[in-house]
Structure 1
Amino acid sequence: MAILIVLALVVIFAIVLLAKTVKIIPQARAGIVERFGKYHGTLTPGLNVIVPFMDKVRYMIDMREQVVTFPPQPVITEDNLTVSIDTVIYFQVNDPIAATYEIANYIQAVEQLTMTTLRNIAGGMDLEQTLTSRERINTGLSTVLDEATGRWGIKVKRVEVKSIDPPVSIKDAMEKQMRADRDKRASILTAEGQRQSAILTAEGNKQSAILNAEGAREAQILRAQADRESSILRAQGEGQAIQTVFQAIHDGSPDQSLLAYQYLQMLPKIAEGDANKLWIVPSEIGKALEGLGSTLSDMKGIPANSGGPAKRVDLGPTEPALSSPDRARSEADAAVQAAIAEANASANGIREQVQQVEPPVDPSADA
């Protein structure tokens, strides 16, 4: 029985001895070995053997890059405003021996160093610069921490400012200021839009007025040209008509007989009309007709008898040339003689009708 107890004790001692001798270090970690309280060596990842009861793995250092976030720290800016800044630090242990023996707690040391450096940097800037200078704060923190933690065996990879929170009253004032700035920019943009709209509208009205004026001017010019052409054509037509009539008169060699015939032709037109119910023919109509020719013959330019062929008036290229002037003159004379004979016949007929209608005049009554 005693032998079994001894064997059991030996087995337990062997197991403990083996556990004290063999050390397994995980990947990306380093073990700091002390012998009798003094640094003896550094264990690398894998299976390691140490002297039991003499060597001891005092610290296990994580060699991976670590991310440490610190609670928001109150910082006073240059314009005496307190802001809360939250930071994040990325660092890595390069020298496990220095990280173990040069600093007692490198995490706490980095936090305090970050706090003091952040207050130093933000103390030299006002609130607006602090809120808009994140990159400047990050760069300043990285430089100071890298210089300070180099002797601790720590490499600061990156420093980031998570948030910068000003006081609530400052937030309200900033929001009001930003709202006022946005309202100002909106008003400016609205005014510029209205100005551009008014300018474009005025330019459009100007162009429309110019085009309307040009159109009215062109229309007036065209109407004036049309009126001028119409007046010219009308005047030319009237001139040609007058020339034609004048030519016909000259061709006919008019005398007092033709004028008497024209007068007789106007007599029936006097009786025309619905209002002419009664037409009184004077008894002296015959004598009036006989003296009409002699009276009109005294007019300037109208002879009592035509003295031979009349001189032809040239009407220009619009009038066809006469192939036989003598024949045309003879035809005109025949037409005039026929008109005179018709006028005499009409005058005789009218004289007879008057004599039949009018009672005989008693000469003794006049006496």
Structure 2
Amino acid sequence: MDPTALIMLAVIILLVVVLVAKTVLLVPQATASVIERLGRYRTVAQPGLNLLVPFFDRVRARVDLREQVVSFPPQPVITQDNLTVSIDTVVYFQVTDARSAVYEISNYITGVEQLTTTTLRNVVGGMSLEETLTSRDAINTQLRGVLDKETGRWGIRVARVELKAIDPPPSIKDSMEKQMRADREKRAMILNAEGTRESAIKTAEGQKQAAILGAEGQKQAAILTAEADRQSSILRAQGDRASQYLTSQGQAKAIEKVFAAVKRAKPTPELLAYQYLQTLPKMAEGDGNKVWVVPSDFSKSLEGFARSLGKADEDGVFRYEPPEQTEEAPPAEAVEDAVQEWFDTSTNPEVAEAVRAAEAVARKEVPRPGEFGTHVPAPRPGITGTSSTTPDNTELEQS
């Protein structure tokens, strides 16, 4: 084949390829392309396949339609109280109109940065340092409102504006740290004092409650001790009375037995005189009985004593004759029944009730802190009673 023809074929193929490349335009998603024809705005190519007129249409700019985050360097700002602070800002914005973003401003990112700086100075200039440090949300809201309004003609929508850092001067930082440290120490001292006060109050309340409960316990113990002493005294008195009665009864029976034995032996005056004379040395054994004088009518006394024992028989000896029973003596069982009441140690019902009430109070659980003020019932004062209902016990209690 002729070389000239080959060259011509290659040129034609190259022109076709260039023509196709100039005609077809592929736009990615979330991207817009501004198309110009012969230097004038023609249209905005949307994502996808777009056809152009070769050598007449061209792409002026490609614009990212996604939300962009731009962090601007720290900006020195003077507050209302003439203090210079350094503020870092972050702006979130999105291009909504690619044509305005290309033709209304040469560089919309630089425009947003400068507009943010000037707006920030205006907003912070009307606040003090303390308000600036504590009013970040208010500053963010004002900045977003101004920026969104001013950048709307550029085809940009400002979504958010955030203050990253607010750095006051080093001297102000030191003063603030000292103030914060003093505030923390003050709060710590206040909390310490509050804790000490609460602890003292709780301790005093506990001591007060313990003293009251101790007094109540001592009171109940004194009541029980007094009741026990009273019962013990009553029982001791009853025992002494019964003991005396039994002693006297024994002595009476012993005397009666001796007297009956003497009568049964039918002693003569000579025997009685002999026994009397035998007793005289024992009577003189004491230190104060050195001399004992026998009375002159001693024989007459013995004779009278013998007559009291009986009548004289024909031989002149007095014989004992038991006296006639004029009244029938009460049976021994009746006497024992009457005396048996002296040994009755059963407890009076009222006394038992008072003792049970005192024991219940003594066993009562001690109330917890914060429950102070509960009334502890005490047994009724003035309860009187005896362990027996016999008339003799009543006389003993009255005595």
Check 1:4–1:283 CA distance in 2 against 1; reply closer, same or farther (3 A cut).
closer
C-alpha deviation, 1:241, in angstroms? 4.8
**In structure 1, C-alpha distance between the alignment counterparts of 2:247 and 2:104, rounded to whole Å:** 141
The SS at the match of 1:71 is strand
Per-residue CA deviation, residues 273-314 of structure 1 (Å, 9 max, x unaligned), is xxxxxx7695633649x99xx9xxxxxxxxxx9xx99x99x9
Check 1:246–1:35 CA distance in 2 against 1; reply closer, same or farther (3 A cut).
same
Partner of 2:265: none
Q: Which runs of 5+ in 2 are unaligned?
A: 257-271, 302-307, 309-322, 342-399
Per-residue CA deviation, residues 233-290 of structure 1 (Å, 9 max, x unaligned), is 333444455566678889979xxx9xxx9xx79x69x98xxxxxxx7695633649x9
**In structure 1, C-alpha distance between the alignment counterparts of 2:188 and 2:127, rounded to whole Å:** 31
**In structure 1, C-alpha distance between the alignment counterparts of 2:80 and 2:240, rounded to whole Å:** 105
**In structure 2, C-alpha distance between the alignment counterparts of 1:62 and 1:178, rounded to whole Å:** 47
Q: Give, as a single letter, the amino acid of the residue that structure 2 aligns with 1:202.
A: A
Partner of 1:67: 69
Over the residues paired in the alignment, what is the CA RMSD in angstroms? 4.0
Pick from 284, 287, 291 the counterpart of residue 291 of structure 2.
284
C-alpha deviation, 1:112, in angstroms? 1.0
Q: Give, as a single letter, the amino acid of the residue that structure 1 aligns with 2:89.
A: T
C-alpha deviation, 1:320, in angstroms? 6.6
Check 1:282–1:108 CA distance in 2 against 1; reply closer, same or farther (3 A cut).
closer
Per-residue CA deviation, residues 33-63 of structure 1 (Å, 9 max, x unaligned), is 1122211112122222222222221111111
Q: Give, as a single letter, the amino acid of the residue that structure 1 aligns with 2:170.
A: V
C-alpha deviation, 1:138, in angstroms? 1.5
Q: Give, as a single letter, the amino acid of the residue that structure 2 aligns with 1:284.
A: V
Pick from 192, 200, 203 the counterpart of residue 201 of structure 1.
203
Map 1:316-331 → 2, pairs under 5 A: 318-319=338-339
C-alpha deviation, 1:318, in angstroms? 4.3
**In structure 1, C-alpha distance between the alignment counterparts of 2:53 and 2:340, rounded to whole Å:** 152
Map 1:1-367 → 2, pairs under 5 A: 1-241=3-243, 284-285=291-292, 287=294, 318-319=338-339
Contact 1:138 1:160 in 2 (8 A): yes
Check 1:319–1:78 CA distance in 2 against 1; reply closer, same or farther (3 A cut).
same
Partner of 1:350: none
Check 1:96–1:283 CA distance in 2 against 1; reply closer, same or farther (3 A cut).
closer
Contact 1:33 1:55 in 2 (8 A): yes
Q: Give, as a single letter, the amino acid of the residue that structure 1 aligns with 2:292.
A: I
Q: Give, as a single letter, the amino acid of the residue that structure 2 aligns with 1:319.
A: V
Q: Which runs of 5+ in 1 are unaligned?
A: 272-278, 295-304, 322-367
**In structure 1, C-alpha distance between the alignment counterparts of 2:77 and 2:6, rounded to whole Å:** 71
The SS at the match of 1:125 is coil
The SS at the match of 1:89 is strand
Check 1:243–1:60 CA distance in 2 against 1; reply closer, same or farther (3 A cut).
same
Per-residue CA deviation, residues 95-132 of structure 1 (Å, 9 max, x unaligned), is 11111111121111111111111112212222222222
**In structure 2, C-alpha distance between the alignment counterparts of 1:283 and 1:128, rounded to whole Å:** 125
Contact 1:98 1:152 in 2 (8 A): yes
The SS at the match of 1:72 is strand
Check 1:209–1:316 CA distance in 2 against 1; reply closer, same or farther (3 A cut).
farther
**In structure 1, C-alpha distance between the alignment counterparts of 2:26 and 2:340, rounded to whole Å:** 140
**In structure 1, C-alpha distance between the alignment counterparts of 2:56 and 2:85, rounded to whole Å:** 53
**In structure 1, C-alpha distance between the alignment counterparts of 2:288 and 2:191, rounded to whole Å:** 98
Larger Rg belongs to: 1
Q: Give, as a single letter, the amino acid of the residue that structure 1 aligns with 2:193.
A: A
Q: Give, as a single letter, the amino acid of the residue that structure 2 aligns with 1:88.
A: V
**In structure 2, C-alpha distance between the alignment counterparts of 1:152 and 1:231, rounded to whole Å:** 115
**In structure 1, C-alpha distance between the alignment counterparts of 2:73 and 2:218, rounded to whole Å:** 82
Deviates more, 1:95-104 or 1:4-13: 4-13
The SS at the match of 2:73 is coil
TM-score by length of 2: 0.62
The SS at the match of 1:142 is helix
